[in-house]
Structure 1
Amino acid sequence: MNITVFCSANALDERYTAPARDFGRLLGAQGHTLVWGGSHAGLMGIVADEAKAAGAKLVGISVELLSHKAYQGADELVTTGDLAERKAVLLARADAVVVLAGGLGTLDEVTEVIELKKHGLHVKPIVLLDTEGFYEGLRVQLARMEAEGFLPRPLDELVRFAADPAEALALLEG
């Protein structure tokens, strides 16, 4: 399976890096391909290093703006002209999407793929790895949107939340 991973390119502490390492290792060990933002920095680099070490194929989708952070060990590296094009290619190359901890870019990516799924433009599973309750606020907001009629489909048809890397992969495979 081609698994697109959205996550931070920032250096973070161990409570976020450890699950990223575990997820990358499991992804590779289970024979999946990592499709990601193509960076060597932060969680992006950690997931890529671990996935590669575990035997995964790496497909990086970088952007000209950030080409200086491109991961040099990718099996394939695509450079797009802008962030919108990168998001489109990341989704197009995905069989599934997993979201690790991240900042505004990651939030932008996940809300876009959920919105596209809401409109039936794809049916790919989307799983948020809720490390340390990082996405609890988003989960609460999405549940409120569902309860108050803002979502035309049940929330669990749009996105799932996982407590750990093994559960995230199990939700994709099951």
Structure 2
Amino acid sequence: MRICVFLSAADLDDRYTRPARDFAKLIGKGGHSLVWGGSDTGLMKVVADGVQEAGGKLTGVSVGFLAHKARPGADEMVIAADLAERKRLLLEKSDAVVIMVGGTGTLDEATEILELKKHGHTDKPVVLLNTAGFYDGLKEQFRRMEAEGFLPRPLSELVFFAEEPAAALTYLEADPSAR
């Protein structure tokens, strides 16, 4: 399975890097491939290192203004013209999506895939990996959107919330649309 991971390129505390490294190893050991933003910095580097060390393949999709941060030695590296093309390519090259900790770019990517899924433009499974409770507030906001009628589909059809890396991968491996 080709797993797209949306996440930060920032250098982060161990409470975020440890679970990211654990998830990366699960991807590689499971015979899966990583599709990610292509950066060789911060949490993106941690995940790419872990997948590669565990025998997984790497497909990066960077963007022109970040190409200088692209990871050398990826199995495939594509340089997109802009952020919109980057998101489109990330989704095209993947079978499933995992949203890990990140900033505004990660949130933008997350909401775009959920909007596409909400309208039936993709059936890829989406997991929000809520490391150290990072997305507790967002999870609550999504629940409020559902309860107050802002979502035309049940939240459970749009995204699976996982608290630990193993639960995220178990969910993806059990979803037939991820293959």
Q: Same fold (TM over 0.5)?
A: yes
State the distance in 2 between where 1:81 and 1:105 align.
16
State the distance in 2 between where 1:158 and 1:60 align.
25
State the distance in 1 between where 2:163 and 2:146 align.
21
Structure 1 residue identity aligned to 2:94: A
State the distance in 2 between where 1:133 and 1:32 align.
26
Instruction: Please name the residue that 2:85 is paired with.
Output: 85
State the distance in 1 between where 2:57 and 2:173 align.
18
Structure 2 residue identity aligned to 1:60: G
Instruction: Please name the residue that 2:158 is paired with.
Output: 158
Matched position secondary structure for 2:110: helix
State the distance in 1 between where 2:28 and 2:35 align.
12
**RMSD, aligned α-carbons:** 0.5
Instruction: Please name the residue that 2:133 is paired with.
Output: 133
State the distance in 2 between where 1:132 and 1:2 align.
25
Instruction: Please name the residue that 1:51 is paired with.
Output: 51
Instruction: Please name the residue that 2:177 is paired with.
Output: none
State the distance in 2 between where 1:71 and 1:111 align.
26
State the distance in 2 between where 1:53 and 1:10 align.
21
State the distance in 2 between where 1:65 and 1:135 align.
28
State the distance in 2 between where 1:92 and 1:121 align.
12
Structure 1 residue identity aligned to 2:93: R
Instruction: Please name the residue that 1:10 is paired with.
Output: 10
Q: What displacement does 1:73 show?
A: 1.7
State the distance in 2 between where 1:80 and 1:60 align.
10
Instruction: Please name the residue that 1:19 is paired with.
Output: 19
The percent of aligned pairs where both chains have the same amino acid is 63
Q: What displacement does 1:62 show?
A: 0.5
Matched position secondary structure for 1:151: coil
Q: What displacement does 1:94 show?
A: 1.1
Q: What displacement does 1:70 show?
A: 0.3
State the distance in 1 between where 2:138 and 2:96 align.
20
Structure 1, unmatched stretches of 5+, are none
Deviations 1:95-116 (A, max 9, x none): 0000110000000000000000
Matched position secondary structure for 1:78: strand
Residue 105 of structure 2 corresponds to residue 105 of structure 1: yes
Structure 2, unmatched stretches of 5+, are 175-179
State the distance in 1 between where 2:11 and 2:135 align.
19
What TM-score does the superposition give when structure 1 sets the normalisation length?
Answer: 0.99
State the distance in 1 between where 2:75 and 2:48 align.
11
